[in-house]
Each structure stands twice: as structure tokens, then as C-alpha cells.
Amino acid sequence: MKINPVYRLKGDIKVPGDKSISHRAIMLGSVAKGHTLIKDFLMGEDCLSTIRCFKQMGVSITINKNTVSVKGNGLHGLKQPDQLLDVGNSGTTMRLMSGLLCGQEFDCSLTGDSSIIKRPMKRIIEPLTRMNGRIKSINGDNRAPLYIQSSTLINIDYTSPVASAQVKSSIMLASLYTSGITTITEPYTSRNHSELMLNHFGGNVQVDGTKVICTPVDELFAQEVIVPSDISSAAYFMVAGLISKNSEIIIRDVGINPTRAGIIHVLQSMKGQIELDNIRMINSEKVADIIVKSSNLEGTVVEGSIIPTLIDEIPIIAVAAAFAEGKTIIKDAAELKVKESNRIDTTVNELKKMGVDISPTDDGMIIQGGTPLHGAVLDSYHDHRVAMSLTIAALNASSNTNLLNSKCIDISYPTFFEDLKRLF
């Protein structure tokens, strides 16, 4: 993708549905009783992988534009897939579905693309094994492909070493197939969409600080789910609006669940002009319209409990920091190393090529902002979030950029370039 500088962005947009919520709606809809209707579903490759896997397990799922209809099979109605379940690039599909699969009365195998088979799976293998799940890494390296055999699960009290919604949700889904109360305690609270949606479907989940308490129920019941727009996708436009001169962007219907909205606090602490309008609740999820205006950003420190609430936004926060006066320090974010790419290295390498004063640390990065950026030949490393973050940086560079491997953006935001161009 060739990206020429554009110095002013104006307009009103709605970004696609939330990826995390779209995945969960398919999974819960598939094991609920009845007909679940999902509106504003994200038609990105990751969520389509989840649909494909559940279809392989005998669930009837139909798509009409952005609405998905799922005829649920009930908690015990999934069928053995006749082939490997292929999650593509989707870590959420692999980790959440594994929890659910440990509780089924059939054996199956899961695999994915060249990135997914390098990502750590011990974080789910370990707690699921403690629950009596029979889940194995086929190559014995604690990575996918995974082989899951049927077993009788037991409830556990688990203290997770990482704040990970994927780990938490995997255990929560497995806990549906036990007969006692399972608790999961995290170091910090990660995104809570599974908690909210399970209760929406008739589950029994309580929360006490960073502990989640799951009581199994006999059945889940189909619901209508309206998916808010994804704050992780909105983040590119928030930063674009702040760093481009004479710009103003309104982003409609964005999910601002407090466990996801860390980027808003960080950009406000950088003196970004961001306003929330029309705040309301949809299916237990908080939603708002977000208005951003060109701002003179200042450096900041991003650390501690806010990190899980903005973990996917760190590459675009690094871009904001490059355009801010002063130093930005991002720490406590070692999880970035095990995302779709090692996002500490990939973000640092590519922004450096544009002239940014940025260095990696063990658990984050340090950016000295304010140096003008120039265009360059950049690589996304097949990481959708890196690709979109670099695009926003490139719009504000002094010369043209050539972004290699930009097709990966289809993972979470297939219409990204079209939406962006509407603001030129």
C-alpha cells in the first residue's frame, strides 16, 4: 500500500464491530438454546474463522450483511468436527474455543497459521489440565497444533500469572462443564466481555475485584447481541485526528467498556482533545460517540493496571507519542512480545525507519517525541495492528511511504483504507 501524506482529516465515521465481542457472541450463541441474532458483527477474518469452526461442529450459522444468525445447539449439542479446526490468525478463537472443547464429549484437533503456531498456549494448557482437561500440544512445545480429548472437568480456584482475557475466558468457558464453582484471579483486571455476555445469556458470573466467580448453569439461552464499534479500530482515527492539523473526527457508537478504554485516558493525559458524547448502555456494554480534535500532544507514562485495558492500542499510542512533545515511557507491557508479532520489536523497528527517536525496553518502549517523520519502506510483519498504526504515522510524514504486507488489515478491519479515505 502506497501512503501519501494527508495533513487534514475531517468527518463522521462508524468503525466495524468489536472483535472480542463478535467472537464471544458466536461461541455463546452456538452453545445456547435457541436463536441468537448478532447485529453489527465484525466481518474480519478472525471472526469468520470462529464462525467456520463452529459450523464444522454442526452449528447452523447464517450471515446477512453484518448480521449473523446462530441456531444454538445447547451446552451439550456440539458435534465432532470431521477435520482439524483451523483458527487462522486468531488467538482468541484458539484459546477460548479450547476451554469450551475440553468440556465436550468428543476429541478434536486445532491448528492455525504460521503466526498462531508460534504463540504461547501453556497459559491455557496449564489451567485446563488442572481442571482435568486432556489438552496436549501435538509437538510437545506448548504451542499449537493442539489435541483435545474428552474428559470430565472439575472446578478449580486459579490464580493467573498474566492479566489475560483469553486465559480467563478459556477457563470460564470450561467451567460451564463442571459441577462446582470456579474462581479465576488475575494480577489486574483484563477485558470483561465474557463476564458480561455470559450473564446476558443466563450464565452465573460474579466479580469481586480481580477475581471472577463462575457458577455453572444447566443451559444458556439465546439472546440478541448488538455489537458496539471496536475501540481498538476507533483508536487509529482517534490518534489520526489528534496528530493531524485542522482536523476533527466523530467516531460513532464506540464501545467504551472501562476494561477497554485505557487509550482514552492516556490520550487525555497527553493533552489530547477527546470528548465523549451520547454515552449509553447496549447489552451491558457502555457505548459513546467519540469526538477528537487536533491537539498539541505531550509525552506521558503508561504503566501498571491500565496496560491490559489498552494492550492492543500500544502500537498506535507509540505513534501518538512520536508526535508529542517530550518523552513517553511505556512499561509493564511484556505481553506485547507474544501478540500477532513481537509488537515491541516490530513497532520500534518500523517507526525508527521513519526517523522516530524510539528504543525498545524489556517490557515496553521509550519514545522521545517531536522529531518530524519522513516516509519509508515499511513492513507490517503481517500484524494488522502494526499495519494500521504505521498507516496513521505515514499520513503525517513529510514524504511517501510504501507499506509492505498490508493485506493483514483484513484480520480486524477489512474496510480500513476506504473509511480512512472518506476523511481526506
Active-site amino acid positions: 312
How many residues line the site for ligand S3P (CB under 6 A)? 11
Q: At 331, is the secondary structure helix, strand, or coil?
A: coil
Q: Per CB under 6 A, which region of 138-146, 163-171, 202-210, 267-275 contacts ligand S3P?
A: 163-171
- Asked if 166 touches ligand S3P (CB under 6 A), the answer is yes
Do residues 294 and 242 lie in contact, with contact meaning Cβ atoms separated by under 8 Å? yes
**Nine-digit cell at 112?**
492455525
Give the nearer residue to ligand S3P in terms of CB position, either 190 or 401.
190
Rounded Cα–Cα distance for residues 380 and 409 (Å): 9
20, 229, 295, 389: which one binds ligand S3P (CB under 6 A): 20
- Asked if 346 touches ligand S3P (CB under 6 A), the answer is no
Distance, CA of 149 to chain centre = 28
- Asked if 190 touches ligand S3P (CB under 6 A), the answer is yes
Nearest to 389 by CA among 381, 399, 90, 262: 381
Give the nearer residue to ligand S3P in terms of CB position, either 354 or 386.
386
Q: Per CB under 6 A, which region of 52-60, 159-167, 243-251, 291-299 contacts ligand S3P?
A: 159-167
Give the nearer residue to ligand S3P in terms of CB position, either 50 or 244.
50
- Asked if 36 touches ligand S3P (CB under 6 A), the answer is no
- Asked if 313 touches ligand S3P (CB under 6 A), the answer is no
- Cβ atoms within 10 Å of 98's Cβ, excluding its own: 26
Do residues 386 and 350 lie in contact, with contact meaning Cβ atoms separated by under 8 Å? yes
- Asked if 90 touches ligand S3P (CB under 6 A), the answer is no
**Nine-digit cell at 195?**
463476564
Q: Per CB under 6 A, which region of 111-119, 134-142, 160-168, 359-367 contacts ligand S3P?
A: 160-168
Rounded Cα–Cα distance for residues 94 and 277 (Å): 36
Minimum separation from the CB atom of position 204 to ligand S3P (A): 20
Q: Which amino acid is at 245?
A: K
Rounded Cα–Cα distance for residues 316 and 312 (Å): 9
Minimum separation from the CB atom of position 111 to ligand S3P (A): 19
Q: Per CB under 6 A, which region of 62-70, 107-115, 162-170, 376-384 contacts ligand S3P?
A: 162-170
Query: Crossing angle of helices 262-269/231-243, nearest 10°?
Result: 10
- Asked if 311 touches ligand S3P (CB under 6 A), the answer is yes
Nearest to 402 by CA among 375, 370, 365, 364: 375
- Cβ atoms within 10 Å of 28's Cβ, excluding its own: 28
Rounded Cα–Cα distance for residues 21 and 23 (Å): 5
Minimum separation from the CB atom of position 142 to ligand S3P (A): 15
* Of residues 49-88, those binding ligand S3P (CB under 6 A): none
Minimum separation from the CB atom of position 147 to ligand S3P (A): 22
- Asked if 263 touches ligand S3P (CB under 6 A), the answer is no
Rounded Cα–Cα distance for residues 350 and 328 (Å): 17
50, 89, 160, 169: which one binds ligand S3P (CB under 6 A): 169
101, 102, 135, 165: which one binds ligand S3P (CB under 6 A): 165
- Asked if 419 touches ligand S3P (CB under 6 A), the answer is no
Give the nearer residue to ligand S3P in terms of CB position, either 165 or 321.
165
Q: At 18, is the secondary structure helix, strand, or coil?
A: coil
- Asked if 335 touches ligand S3P (CB under 6 A), the answer is yes
Give the nearer residue to ligand S3P in terms of CB position, either 22 or 178.
22
Rounded Cα–Cα distance for residues 164 and 207 (Å): 16
Q: What mask, x for binding ligand S3P by CB under 6 A, covers residues 115 to 154?
A: ----------------------------------------
Rounded to 5 degrees, what angle do the CA atoms 365, 369, 375 make? 95
Minimum separation from the CB atom of position 164 to ligand S3P (A): 4
Minimum separation from the CB atom of position 338 to ligand S3P (A): 8
Give the nearer residue to ligand S3P in terms of CB position, either 58 or 258.
258
Which residue's entry shows cell 470528548?
275
Give the total residue count for the chain.
Answer: 424
- Asked if 230 touches ligand S3P (CB under 6 A), the answer is no
Phi, psi of 337 (to 5 degrees): -70, -20
Rounded Cα–Cα distance for residues 324 and 337 (Å): 24
Rounded Cα–Cα distance for residues 198 and 175 (Å): 12
Minimum separation from the CB atom of position 26 to ligand S3P (A): 12
Minimum separation from the CB atom of position 319 to ligand S3P (A): 18
Give alpha helix (H) positions in 185-256.
Answer: 193-200, 231-243
- Asked if 93 touches ligand S3P (CB under 6 A), the answer is no
Distance, CA of 347 to chain centre = 17
Where along the sequence are the contacts to ligand S3P (CB under 6 A)?
20, 92, 164-166, 169, 190-191, 311-312, 335
